[in-house]
């Protein structure tokens, strides 16, 4: 504003003009103060704050509504303070989300659930300006103990990840079978690339892509799921195409509504394993960015995450519409531990580990009927919603992640070990049954009433019990190995008793039938890996040749009944030779089914179990040897000094 000097004004008049200036400046400063104050007190002012404040004041440890406050509070609170109290201002907002009912496709339900660490001084960011993702992209060189070093990690492996000769077996027949599985992978990948590139999955009959609603707008699920499979198989041209897509086209700025479980096991798991196998910083950067987007799902009164999350800036979450009384699902919130511990390892930010350890604490405290873990839990009250227990869908991978968390911790996670063997005892006492024909199976439990049904998803449990046999009571080792073999045999029988030699989605042990599907709705096979997964583990644990023979039978059946002109497809009825295909090449077929078959026909030094555990999507994650990493860090620091 310009003040003009008027003619004929006296000295006293000049004093008046100075007063006017003073009043105006006072008014202007008040206006500015008012405007800036509004920015800080309006409820949704976080973006405006970022515009006006310096980076050191505004860079959050995590992103998304709610998680920013949560992460900052983490840096301020003492170690012994739990995570059971919701972040300030979150309760009313989050409770509203319980009533939201997201649309769930048949594929999403069918595919998974309904048919379908570290010392504080080593993990806290060095300054406020370092977010989890910023630390993830920091230099991999030097001796700083608060920075993850890929070279240190490699030095702590007992064996090379790909073995002496990429796991090539000396037996020509076995190697020929392995090469056949590799050809199947290339065929599936080539058709995905030709007809569905960038989409989540291939529809091989109609030769187009499928996006689905499980991934909240994320794309390329088959690409992320295939990275490690292509790499260990030596399909390097294909792997490089996948890597280039991740670099140029994987957009994590999605504003869609995603399954926390599916995004974690496929995208987070896939990117983590790709990083650990290759050392490519690209994957670490991407996975840390994605990991931050998942944190707001934990902003509930109990810290139990809800099943659906908006991956955009809102970070809102809610429970599945079909879940009882707005509950969270055991197999979903119980299948985060492996990946989240590694997110903390890479970022040196303990918040990820704290989130999953809080789940453990709650589950350890609450009463469990007959020692069993029901499938539905309220994220608001922390109480069970129904007394339905299943080792198949809705419950399965919770138990898998208990024993694998113990193994991945280099057998230092005693809490996981205690919970696993306690759960296994309860399962044996209440669910494990023997059929009149001598088949051992796992029934489902509905408030004390047994349902003599076993799902295909439950067939992973043979391998699970096998890999945990050595770490229970010594006198029970053989008992566990026998139980693992019996369950794997039962699941094999579900394959051999069908016309196609592929197993149904669920099979029963009542009404005179055994290991067969008695309901039309249970007869389908969607390229699932769980039976083959148990074959692979049991082969490595026993080297009984029958497991390789059973695996080859599955290869032949897949080739005969599921291979179509442009990929692989599930079938709607395993009991008829007239195939009716479902027109879906599931991403887990490339990640799990074909990978487990390839490992079954490879030497044991390809991804040896002494160094690696597989997440529930078969993505290999390394065992964390804290003593080794700390020793290496100490040695490096001494040398640098």
Got the DSSP string for 130-147? --HHHHHTS-S-S--TTS
- The answer for residues whose C-beta is within 8 angstroms of residue 490's C-beta and 6 or more apart is 439, 440, 441, 454, 515
pLDDT band at 26 (very low <50, low <70, confident <90, very high): low
Average pLDDT for residues 255-279, to the nearest whole number?
97
Give the length of the chain.
641
Which of 582, 589, 570, 525 has its CA nearest to residue 192? 589
pLDDT tens by residue, 177-209: 999 999 999 999 999 999 999 999 999 999 999
Beta strands in 319-368 (DSSP E): 328-329
609 touches 553 (CB < 8 A) = no
Which of 502, 626, 475, 623 has its CA nearest to residue 572? 502
pLDDT band at 29 (very low <50, low <70, confident <90, very high): low
pLDDT band at 25 (very low <50, low <70, confident <90, very high): low
pLDDT band at 631 (very low <50, low <70, confident <90, very high): low
180: tokens are: 């056949």
Q: In this predicted structure, what is the pLDDT of residue 256?
A: 87
> Over the chain, what is the mean pLDDT?
83
pLDDT tens by residue, 95-104: 233 333 333 3
**Is the pLDDT reported for residue 327 higher than 80?**
yes
Q: What is the rounded CA–CA span in Å between residue 414 and residue 460? A: 23
Higher pLDDT, 529 or 10: 529
* Cβ neighbours of 521 (radius 10 Å): 10
pLDDT band at 531 (very low <50, low <70, confident <90, very high): very high
Phi, psi of 209 (to 5 degrees): -100, 160
Which of 616, 534, 584 has its CA nearest to residue 268? 616
Average pLDDT for residues 380-400, to the nearest whole number?
97
587 touches 527 (CB < 8 A) = no
Phi, psi of 612 (to 5 degrees): -130, 145
Q: In this predicted structure, what is the pLDDT of residue 593?
A: 99
Q: What is the rounded CA–CA span in Å between residue 574 and residue 503? A: 7
**Is the pLDDT reported for residue 489 higher than 60?**
yes
Helices (H), 156-280: 172-196, 221-233, 236-249, 260-262, 269-278
Which of 139-143, 239-243, 297-301, 567-571 is the least confident region?
139-143
% of the chain at pLDDT higher than 70: 76
What residues are annotated to the active site? 505
Q: What is the rounded CA–CA span in Å between residue 339 and residue 623? A: 12
Q: In this predicted structure, what is the pLDDT of residue 537?
A: 98
**Is the pLDDT reported for residue 3 higher than 70?**
no
- Residue 583's alpha-carbon distances to 40, 217, 527, 571, in angstroms, are 53, 21, 11, 8
Burial category of 41 from C-beta neighbours within 10 Å (exposed 0-12, middle 13-18, buried 19 and up):
exposed
Q: In this predicted structure, what is the pLDDT of residue 90?
A: 35
- The answer for residues whose C-beta is within 8 angstroms of residue 403's C-beta and 6 or more apart is 416, 417, 420, 464, 467, 468, 471
613 touches 410 (CB < 8 A) = no
DSSP labels, 554-567: HHHHIIIIIEETTE
Q: What is the rounded CA–CA span in Å between residue 340 and residue 355? A: 8
Q: In this predicted structure, what is the pLDDT of residue 31?
A: 64
Higher pLDDT, 393 or 139: 393
Q: In this predicted structure, what is the pLDDT of residue 245?
A: 98
DSSP labels, 466-527: HHTGGGS-GGGHHHHHHHHHHHHHHHHHHHHTSTTS---SEEE--TT--SB--SGGG--B--
pLDDT tens by residue, 331-370: 999 999 999 999 999 999 999 999 999 999 999 999 999 9
Q: Which long-range contacts (CB under 8 A, 24 or more apart) does 163-170 make?
A: 163/602, 163/603, 163/605, 163/606, 163/608, 164/603, 164/605, 165/603, 166/232, 166/234, 166/606, 167/232, 167/599, 167/602, 167/603, 167/605, 167/606, 167/607, 168/602, 168/603, 169/601, 169/602, 169/603, 170/603
Just give the CATH number of 170-213+440-609: 1.50.10.10
% of the chain at pLDDT higher than 90: 72
**Is the pLDDT reported for residue 314 higher than 90?**
no
152 touches 629 (CB < 8 A) = yes
Which of 52-56, 196-200, 614-618 is the least confident region?
52-56
Domain boundaries, the chain: 170-213+440-609
Q: In this predicted structure, what is the pLDDT of residue 24?
A: 64
Q: What is the rounded CA–CA span in Å between residue 176 and residue 499? A: 26
pLDDT tens by residue, 491-521: 999 999 999 999 999 999 997 889 999 999 9
Q: In this predicted structure, what is the pLDDT of residue 147?
A: 78
Strands of the sheet with 388-389, listed across from one edge:
388-389, 444-446, 449-451
Question: 172-196 and 236-249 helices cross at what angle (nearest 10)?
Answer: 30
pLDDT band at 86 (very low <50, low <70, confident <90, very high): very low
Q: In this predicted structure, what is the pLDDT of residue 17?
A: 54
Average pLDDT for residues 114-129, to the nearest whole number?
31
**Is the pLDDT reported for residue 8 higher than 50?**
no
Running DSSP on this structure, what letter comes out for residue 448? T
185 touches 230 (CB < 8 A) = yes
* Cβ neighbours of 445 (radius 10 Å): 24
State whether the Cα torsion 582-588-593-595 is positive or negative: positive
Which of 123-132, 229-238, 243-252 is the least confident region?
123-132
pLDDT tens by residue, 57-77: 223 333 333 333 343 333 333
3-state DSSP call for residue 119?
coil
Question: 221-233 and 269-278 helices cross at what angle (nearest 10)?
Answer: 30
Average pLDDT for residues 87-93, to the nearest whole number?
34
pLDDT band at 632 (very low <50, low <70, confident <90, very high): low
pLDDT band at 255 (very low <50, low <70, confident <90, very high): confident
Q: In this predicted structure, what is the pLDDT of residue 635?
A: 52
């Amino acid at each position: 504003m310009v003040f003009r000097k008027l003619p004929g004004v006296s000295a006293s008049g000049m004093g008046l003009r100075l007063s006017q200036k003073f009043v105006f400046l006072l008014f202007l400063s008040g206006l500015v103060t008012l405007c800036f104050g509004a920015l800080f007190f309006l409820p949704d002012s976080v973006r405006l704050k970022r515009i006006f404040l310096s980076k050191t004041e505004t860079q959050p440890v995590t992103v998304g509504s709610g998680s920013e406050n949560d992460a900052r509070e983490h840096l301020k609170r003492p170690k012994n303070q739990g995570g059971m109290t919701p972040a300030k201002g979150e309760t009313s907002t989050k409770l509203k989300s319980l009533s939201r009912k997201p649309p769930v496709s048949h594929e999403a339900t069918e595919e998974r659930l309904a048919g379908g660490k570290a010392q504080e001084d080593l993990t806290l960011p060095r300054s406020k300006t370092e977010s989890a993702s910023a630390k993830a992209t920091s230099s991999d060189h030097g001796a700083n103990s608060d920075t993850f070093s890929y070279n240190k990690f490699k030095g702590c492996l007992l064996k090379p990840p790909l073995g002496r000769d990429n796991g090539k077996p000396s037996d020509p027949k076995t190697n020929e079978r392995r090469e056949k599985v590799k050809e199947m992978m290339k065929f599936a990948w080539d058709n995905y690339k030709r007809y569905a590139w960038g989409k989540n999955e291939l529809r091989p009959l109609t030769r187009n892509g499928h996006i689905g609603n499980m991934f909240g707008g994320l794309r390329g699920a088959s690409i992320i799921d295939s990275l490690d499979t292509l790499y260990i198989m030596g399909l390097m041209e294909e792997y490089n195409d996948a890597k280039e897509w991740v670099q140029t086209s994987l957009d994590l700025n999605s504003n869609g509504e995603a399954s926390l479980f599916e995004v974690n096991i496929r995208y987070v798991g896939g990117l983590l394993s790709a990083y650990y196998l290759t050392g490519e910083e690209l994957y670490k950067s991407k996975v840390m960015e994605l990991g931050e987007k998942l944190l707001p799902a934990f902003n509930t009164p109990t810290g139990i995450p809800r099943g659906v999350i908006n991956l955009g800036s809102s970070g809102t979450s809610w429970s599945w519409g079909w879940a009882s009384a707005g509950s969270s699902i055991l197999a979903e919130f119980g299948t985060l531990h492996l990946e989240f511990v590694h997110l903390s390892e890479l970022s040196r930010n303990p918040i990820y580990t704290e989130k999953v350890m809080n789940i453990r604490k709650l589950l350890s405290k609450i009463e469990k009927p007959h020692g069993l873990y029901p499938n539905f839990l309220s994220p608001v009250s922390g109480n069970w919603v129904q007394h339905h227990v299943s080792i198949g869908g809705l419950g399965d991978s919770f138990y898998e992640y208990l024993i694998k968390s113990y193994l991945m911790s280099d057998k230092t996670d005693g809490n996981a070990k205690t919970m696993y063997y306690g759960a296994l005892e309860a399962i044996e006492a209440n669910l494990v049954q023997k059929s009149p024909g001598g088949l051992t199976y796992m029934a489902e439990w509905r408030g004390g009433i047994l349902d003599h049904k076993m799902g295909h998803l439950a067939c992973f449990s043979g391998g699970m019990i096998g890999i945990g046999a050595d770490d229970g009571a010594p006198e029970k080792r053989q008992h566990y190995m026998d139980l693992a073999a019996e369950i794997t045999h039962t699941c094999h029988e579900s394959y051999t008793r069908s016309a196609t030699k592929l197993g149904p989605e669920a099979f029963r042990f009542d009404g005179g039938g055994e290991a067969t599907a008695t309901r039309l709705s249970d007869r389908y096979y969607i390229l699932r890996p769980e039976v083959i997964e148990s074959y692979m583990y049991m082969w490595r644990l026993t080297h009984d040749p029958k497991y390789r023979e059973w695996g080859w039978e599955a290869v032949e059946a897949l080739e005969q009944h599921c291979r179509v002109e442009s990929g692989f497809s599930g079938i709607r009825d395993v009991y008829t030779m007239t195939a009716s295909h479902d027109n879906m090449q599931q991403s887990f077929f490339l990640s799990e089914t074909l990978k487990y078959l390839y490992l079954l026909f490879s030497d044991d030094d390809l991804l040896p179990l002494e160094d690696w555990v597989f997440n529930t999507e078969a993505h290999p994650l390394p065992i964390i040897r804290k003593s080794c990493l700390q020793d290496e860090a100490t040695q490096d620091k001494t040398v640098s000094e």
